[in-house]
């Protein structure tokens, strides 16, 4: 066999393997988005309703109420502002906590406080939903938006809205479940 044809065969074999893993990857991806506790179609639709209610309540967007910016802690960003409010989605009115996350590194709270038009890099939200939504975790709907209201994604490409990441060792629920008093809130316990 010539060197050339061996190479060709290897390339075909490689392509076949790549094809198989591609198909498996796709199947796993589909299963994930159907079974995952967050990032599904319903979560995304609900997050859009939430963003629009937050905009009306002046808790996000260019017309948002500004409050004092403070130095952030990991993983939330370098400078933060946190607002508490109430919004109604469908039949349910609940408390919402909205955190504006500003960067980049090196930014100071003074710079954010003095910049009336400052846009956040991300907006993280906890919305206390109706009983039965997620009774094990205080019925909180979690979301991480980018400054423009689109949803941020995790490294696997899953949109960050819903029960993030229920049952897993890391993520919103895992970390916030360690807050004092078991209420998933850090700031009001500090």
Chain contacts with ligand HEC (rule: CB under 6 A): 72-73, 75-76, 80, 82, 97, 99, 124-126, 142-144, 160, 164, 171-172, 175-176, 185-187
Interatomic CA distance for residues 152 and 147, integer angstroms: 10
Interatomic CA distance for residues 118 and 111, integer angstroms: 9
Nearer to ligand HEC, 64 or 144 (CB): 144
Nearer to ligand HEC, 53 or 160 (CB): 160
Report, in Å, the least distance between residue 79 CB and ligand HEC.
Answer: 10
The secondary structure of 105-144 as a DSSP string is TT--HHHHHT-TTPPPSEEEEEEE--TTS-GGGTTEEEEE
Task: Report which DSSP code applies to 66.
Answer: P
Containing H/E element for 70?
strand 70-71
Containing H/E element for 182?
none
Report, in Å, the least distance between residue 43 CB and ligand HEC.
Answer: 12
Helix (H, G, I), strand (E, B) or coil at 174: helix
Looking up tokens 């109420």 gives: 65
Nearer to ligand HEC, 39 or 72 (CB): 72
Report, in Å, the least distance between residue 50 CB and ligand HEC.
Answer: 11
Nearer to ligand HEC, 33 or 175 (CB): 175
Backbone angle region of 58, left / alpha / beta, with phi > 0 → left and psi within -120 to 50 → alpha: left
Nearer to ligand HEC, 2 or 189 (CB): 189
Report, in Å, the least distance between residue 122 CB and ligand HEC.
Answer: 9
Report, in Å, the least distance between residue 140 CB and ligand HEC.
Answer: 9
Nearer to ligand HEC, 13 or 175 (CB): 175
Task: Let me know: does 60 contact 123? Beta carbons within 8 Å.
Answer: yes
Report, in Å, the least distance between residue 28 CB and ligand HEC.
Answer: 22
């Amino acid at each position: 066999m010539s060197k050339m044809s061996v190479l060709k065969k290897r390339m075909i074999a490689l392509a076949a393997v790549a094809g198989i893993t591609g198909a498996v990857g796709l199947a796993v991806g589909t299963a994930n988005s159907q079974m995952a506790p967050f990032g599904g179609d319903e979560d995304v639709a609900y997050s859009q309703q939430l963003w629009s209610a937050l905009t009306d309540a002046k808790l996000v967007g260019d017309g948002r109420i500004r409050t004092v910016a403070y130095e952030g802690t990991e993983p939330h960003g370098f400078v933060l502002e946190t607002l508490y409010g109430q919004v109604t989605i469908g039949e349910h009115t609940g408390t919402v906590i909205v955190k504006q996350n500003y960067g980049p590194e090196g930014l100071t709270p003074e710079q954010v406080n003095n910049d009336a038009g400052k846009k956040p890099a991300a907006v993280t939200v906890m919305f206390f939903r109706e009983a039965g939504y997620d009774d094990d975790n205080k019925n909180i709907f979690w979301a991480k938006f980018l400054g423009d209201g689109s949803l941020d994604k995790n490294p696997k490409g899953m949109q960050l809205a819903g029960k993030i990441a229920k049952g897993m060792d890391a993520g919103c629920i895992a970390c916030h479940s360690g807050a004092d008093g078991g209420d998933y809130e850090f700031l009001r316990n500090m």
